[in-house]
Structure 1
Amino acid sequence: MRSVMKIAAVSAVAAMALAGCGSKPADSSSASGGGDAGTTGKATGKKISACMVLDTGGVDDKSFNENSWAGMQAASKANPNIKIKYVPSNSSSDYTPNLTKYAQGGCDSVIAVGGLMQKNVDQVAKRYPKVHFAEIDASSAGVKNVYGIEYNTAEAGFLAGYLAAGMTKTGTVGTWGGLSIPPVTIYMDGFWEGVQYYNKAKKKDVKVLGWNEKKQKSGTFSGSFTDQNKGKSITQAMVSQGADIVFPVAGAAGLGAGAAAKAAGGKLNLIWVDTDGCESAANYCKYFISSATKNLSGGVETYLKNASDGKFPTGNYVGSLKDKGVGLSPFHEFESKVPADLKKELKKAEADIVAGKIKITSPAQPK
């Protein structure tokens, strides 16, 4: 199926390192989740040991952990000189021990998945200045051996919001998050803005449940990236208020929205987040109009290639619509259901965001 925007590989992404930790690390031959890309390539460049510290939710969270690990697997498969492993974090108390043991264990690079680890990464990186670190969904904060990998997902969220506003039959859509943190609220901001832009352009009054960019502290959150029961109940509450399209921004907890859509018997559709939902959560594909994505796997893979070539990136990378770091996934089963005019409007909105004609105002955007 053709897409409105296909997510391509992004430019340089981050530094990593290796070691053991609170939970047993998984190596490239035994780890599940993610998925390899292509056939095994030729060993080239410098041999590096790259280690990933996952956030809570596991390697198969159908979201940011899984997609980030997929980039590691693809890089290792393309170049066997890149040896990889990961360790899951069962709670935030695992962050520092996991990072520290990898830094001590001979890793050339350590990649931390998730902005919640930013302070932990900065602290550990300062103690181990010879190890290269990368932080997904956070900036380097001026720490020289930390590479920030961020994505302006407000842009993808904007397109998702416009799409939802154009597809709703009830005139009410909803969004909710896992935690009230910038990597989550940036998506919700963009979604809200996209709906407002549609309303202004079409003289409509599509309502958004769960979030208002102008009231940053009063949104709807599950308090977890793993609690699917909570995700289901939040989504069902939105359906009871008239929402027929919901955009969960909550990692694996968002799978509860899939369960709610299934239980709704055709009254609810979804827009997934981070990854193409029809690939990462295929059992709910029939409910996904599209997905607001960030190319975590492509970014990680590109970073590792550069690292193997002896070029550890420094500073910060921000993925955007311009470089295909963020975007909308294919429509899959909704390809024939999304009106042709709406598809054209989405392409126009994308071009106008890239050109600066549409100004996104989310305060959570990377600086």
Structure 2
Amino acid sequence: MKRNMLLITGLLLLALLAVACGGGGAATEPTAAAVEEVATEAPAEEVATEAPAEEEASGDCSAEDVLCIGLVTDVGEVDDKSFNQSAWEGAQQAAEALGAAEVNFIETAAATDYAANIALFADQGYDIIVTVGFAMGEATLAAAATYPDIDFIGVDQFGPETPVANVTGLVFNEDKAGFLAGVLAGSMSESGVIAAILGTDLVPAVRAFNIGYQNGAKSVNPDIEIIATYHPGGFETGFTSPEDGATFAQQAIDQGADVVFGAGGKTGNGALIETAAHEGLWCIGVDSDQWETVPEAHACLISSAMKLITPGVIDLATMSVNGEFPGGNYFGAVGLAPFHDHADAVPQEVKDLLDTTNTGLMDGSISTGWDAATD
């Protein structure tokens, strides 16, 4: 790994709170009830979507003084307006700040392509490779062993019990973000019925969002009814089915749900957009501030339960360049997005409750009920 680049400062820093330690390597874990918005530029059209665009290369990635950053998605598209897009924006912003010669992405079509797609970047001498998604964890660790001079950032991938020096899992306390979203949903619901439309339950992060959401809502109203629907399609279609998300949302609305939490990539986006078509309902996005990425949902989108993937990728890429790559697990920040145009609709007592809840989540006095070891 090239270590002769100057320390780059002035990266995207958000109004984040708290510091804690995570498993594996040293980890920081700031959490914020409301955070500043993250830039959400659309992916550049000229960037490769199947393989690195060698004809557009501005330098030899294998050269010692040339920095190249690659990103490989799990099954799904990079412009999902949520999870993958947030990681890609982090890679792009890191590349710009760090003076990278190249930054490219590959969209994985099938799980059997993980290793081959990672190797497309590794064999060209890329310095930092970001792999996105829980399901890519095994392939990422295998690649790290084959290419020890490359640093790998595994988004939503918890590292092994013994940390690997050139692999850092960018992980999040989704249960805390979900809990805040649940407090908001429980406070804003008038019908006493809320819903969560989720990706596959094979992903621990999705289950954590759901458990946190349900317990957050129950902390406000112990009698609240929660309709939680996981997509049954597994890794292949669980996050790529907006039509199914819309159908699940409509079913929940028909049962009286007046707040819908969409947490499942494009599947969740479909739920948000369907909810927005019904007057007088609220919806909550996920991963990024979806006010910026799903404008079709503005009518109902009161906030988003965010995992700040973009700044997390930037932080770890910078550490890599500066020879400070931590290995193990690195906890990124979570929090609720601003209320945007709906700020006046949220009573001050609800805003105060969210602030108090966030403080309790940070200092440990409030439990989300999520236990990664047993759930």
Task: Specify if TM > 0.5.
Answer: yes
Q: Which runs of 4+ in 1 moved over 6 A?
A: none
Residues 344 and 97 of structure 1, relative CA distance in 2, 3 Å threshold:
same
User: Does 1:307 find its partner at 2:325?
Assistant: no
Task: Select which of 348, 358, 366 maps to 1:350.
Answer: 358
RMSD between aligned residues:
2.7
After superposition, what is the alpha-carbon deviation per residue over 1:16-74, rounded to whole angstroms, capped at 9, x for unaligned?
A: xxxx99922369x89xxxxxxxxxxxxxx964211111123312100111011111111
User: Counterpart in 2 of 1:332?
Assistant: 340
Task: Select which of 136, 156, 168 maps to 2:189.
Answer: 168
Task: Select which of 211, 214, 236 maps to 1:189.
Answer: 211
Distance in 1 between residues matched to 2:120 and 2:51, nearest whole Å: 11
Shift, 1:206, TM fit:
1.4
One-letter code aligned to 2:301: F
User: Counterpart in 1 of 2:285?
Assistant: 272
Distance in 2 between residues matched to 1:127 and 1:296, nearest whole Å: 26
User: Does 1:298 find its partner at 2:283?
Assistant: no
One-letter code aligned to 2:52: P
Distance in 1 between residues matched to 2:272 and 2:364, nearest whole Å: 35
Provide the secondary structure at the position in 2 that maps to 1:60.
coil
One-letter code aligned to 2:67: I
Distance in 2 between residues matched to 1:268 and 1:100, nearest whole Å: 46
Shift, 1:120, TM fit:
1.4
User: Counterpart in 2 of 1:155?
Assistant: 176
User: Counterpart in 2 of 1:240?
Assistant: 254
Count of residue pairs brought into register by the alignment: 323
User: Does 1:207 find its partner at 2:225?
Assistant: yes
Kept after mapping to 2: 8 A contact 1:7/1:327: no
Kept after mapping to 1: 8 A contact 2:260/2:272: no
Provide the secondary structure at the position in 2 that maps to 1:336.
helix
Distance in 2 between residues matched to 1:95 and 1:21, nearest whole Å: 16
Provide the secondary structure at the position in 2 that maps to 1:278.
coil
One-letter code aligned to 1:25: P
Task: Select which of 194, 199, 218 maps to 1:178.
Answer: 199
Distance in 1 between residues matched to 2:220 and 2:114, nearest whole Å: 41
Taking structure 2 as the reference length, the TM-score comes to 0.80
Kept after mapping to 2: 8 A contact 1:22/1:98: no
User: Counterpart in 2 of 1:318?
Assistant: 331
Distance in 1 between residues matched to 2:373 and 2:52, nearest whole Å: 33
Kept after mapping to 2: 8 A contact 1:4/1:347: yes
After superposition, what is the alpha-carbon deviation per residue over 1:255-288, rounded to whole angstroms, capped at 9, x for unaligned?
A: 2113312332x14321000010111112212211
Kept after mapping to 2: 8 A contact 1:22/1:94: no
User: Counterpart in 1 of 2:23?
Assistant: none
Distance in 2 between residues matched to 1:346 and 1:21, nearest whole Å: 42
Kept after mapping to 2: 8 A contact 1:154/1:365: no
One-letter code aligned to 2:224: V
Shift, 1:358, TM fit:
0.4
Kept after mapping to 2: 8 A contact 1:22/1:97: no
Provide the secondary structure at the position in 1 that maps to 2:197.
strand
Distance in 2 between residues matched to 1:136 and 1:345, nearest whole Å: 31
Unaligned runs of 5+ in 1: 10-19, 31-44, 211-218, 320-324
Distance in 2 between residues matched to 1:263 and 1:300, nearest whole Å: 34
User: Counterpart in 2 of 1:249?
Assistant: 263
Residues 365 and 48 of structure 1, relative CA distance in 2, 3 Å threshold:
farther
Distance in 1 between residues matched to 2:53 and 2:281, nearest whole Å: 38
Distance in 1 between residues matched to 2:51 and 2:121, nearest whole Å: 12
Taking structure 1 as the reference length, the TM-score comes to 0.81
User: Counterpart in 1 of 2:24?
Assistant: none
Distance in 1 between residues matched to 2:231 and 2:100, nearest whole Å: 42
Residues 248 and 222 of structure 1, relative CA distance in 2, 3 Å threshold:
farther
Task: Select which of 98, 110, 117 maps to 2:129.
Answer: 110
User: Does 1:77 find its partner at 2:104?
Assistant: no
Task: Select which of 83, 94, 100 maps to 2:119.
Answer: 100
Distance in 2 between residues matched to 1:289 and 1:197, nearest whole Å: 19
